[in-house]
Amino acid sequence: MFEDLPLFAVRLLLGFGLGIALGFAARRGRFCTLGAIEDATYANDTRRLRSWIVAIGVAIAGVHALELWGGLDLSRSIYLGARLEWGGLILGGLMFGFGMALNGTCGLGTLRQLGGGDLKALVSFLVIGVTAMMTMRGLTGIGRIAVTEPLTLQLPNGFSQRLPEIAGLSGSAVSVAAIALGLLIAIAAFAQIGVRANLRFAITGAAVGALIALGWWATGIAAFDDFDSRRIESFTFVGPLGETLYYAMLSTALQPDFPVGAVLGVIVGALIAAKSSGTFKWEVSANAADMKRRLLGAALMGFGGITALGCSVGQGVTGLSTLSIGSVLATVSIVAGARLGLYVLVDAKRTVRRAQPGTPQLVTDRISCTDP
């Protein structure tokens, strides 16, 4: 079917198709990293957090199954390079996480909201995309390199960032151990509170994890070119937003690839989910303060996501699926940054209210996306 198409076009189409499925699953299953952290912190509801953990476990198992039986070469990804940019991973992760809290959702959530008619998400999309391109190839990129380059560790020859290899495993034992670990993580996520009672969240996590693995299959097996220097990849949602805007402006000079297809596909998938469930609704910011918060958050996400080499999905699921120690550093930093942002936005406000007699006390102050 695709024999006559160039491989970049095949990757574009596969990204679009898989993106539709991801956007649909994420919106219907309320998959949101910030929402998961907020629910667990303020509502003692860990279902979305467990859904995220299931996604990580399934992605780990799926990716290493592709490595073991499909010939996937994970060493051609950005997550297992010879340089451990630990300073950028930590600093960028903290900035992205804090910005995610200010924005109200992550990059995937922004696209999911946009598909549901939220025009605030359109503004966030534009700011994240422009800031990401500036950080990759523009003025803010100069500052990024100046700050993070001294905080980079050049790994010795033959040393790997992969946790199983650091533990002393080699060859096929790495993949086998990773598959077992991934399945164990996925099963353990809902073992305590039961899968049947939380089926929606369990299925959503499994679907997201499987789609992450299929993204690796699309770029690393189905449309892989041995002579192409482009790295293999799966879903991530900071740099691709910038690439999508860049292609829209300079299409004649560029070849769209998997990331552009994925971004457009997620929006379409979220739109289908919103329309089919009757939740599509045009929305705008309630006031100028809300818009200013989102603008600042989106800018931090664009800079931080590029500096950390990924977002809450790009590092927090796709990166972790490779079991890279760098992805662990970035993900922990993203979660810490998000928690700090929630503290500033929620806990501090509640402290002020308690200190002012007569001020109404709200049951909750939702920051993250609340789409059904």
Quote the pLDDT of residue 372.
56
In a domain, 4, yes or no: no
Q: What is the pLDDT of residues 129-165, one digit of tens each?
A: 999 999 999 999 999 999 999 999 988 887 889 999 9
Domain carrying residue 26:
14-347
- Model confidence at 348, pLDDT cuts 50, 70, 90, reads low
Residue 355: inside a domain: no
Specify if 360 maps to a domain.
no
Could you tell me which residues come within 8 angstroms of residue 20 by beta carbon, excluding any fewer than 6 positions away?
265, 266, 268, 269, 272
The 10s digit of each residue's pLDDT in 307-332 is 999 999 999 999 999 999 999 999 99
Q: Give the Cα separation of 257 and 14 in Å (integer).
A: 9
Name the pLDDT band for 367 (thresholds 50, 70, 90): low
Looking at the domain assignment, is residue 7 inside a domain?
no
Helices 33-42/107-115 angle, 10° precision: 100
Q: Could you read off the pLDDT of 14-68 as tens digits, one per residue?
A: 999 999 999 999 999 999 999 999 999 999 999 999 999 999 999 999 999 999 9
Count of structural domains, the chain: 1
**Structural domain includes residue 368:** no
361 belongs to a structural domain: no
pLDDT of residue 360: 47
Q: What CA–CA distance (Å, rounded) separates 319 from 218?
A: 16
Instruction: Give the pLDDT band (50/70/90) at residue 362.
Output: very low
For residues 59-82, give the mean pLDDT.
Answer: 95
pLDDT at 195: 80
Q: What angle (nearest 5°) sits at the alpha carbon of residue 48, between those of residues 46 and 51?
A: 110
- Identify the pLDDT of residue 274: 97
In a domain, 363, yes or no: no
pLDDT band of 363, cuts 50, 70, 90: very low
DSSP for 42-53 reads HS---HHHHHHH
Residue 71 included in any domain: yes
Compute the radius of gyration of the chain from its Cα atoms: 20
User: pLDDT class for 353, splitting at 50, 70, 90?
Assistant: low
Q: What is the pLDDT of residues 220-274, one digit of tens each?
A: 999 998 888 889 999 999 999 999 999 999 887 789 999 999 999 999 999 999 9
Question: So what's the pLDDT on residue 1?
Answer: 57
pTM of the model: 0.93
pLDDT mean across residues, the chain = 92
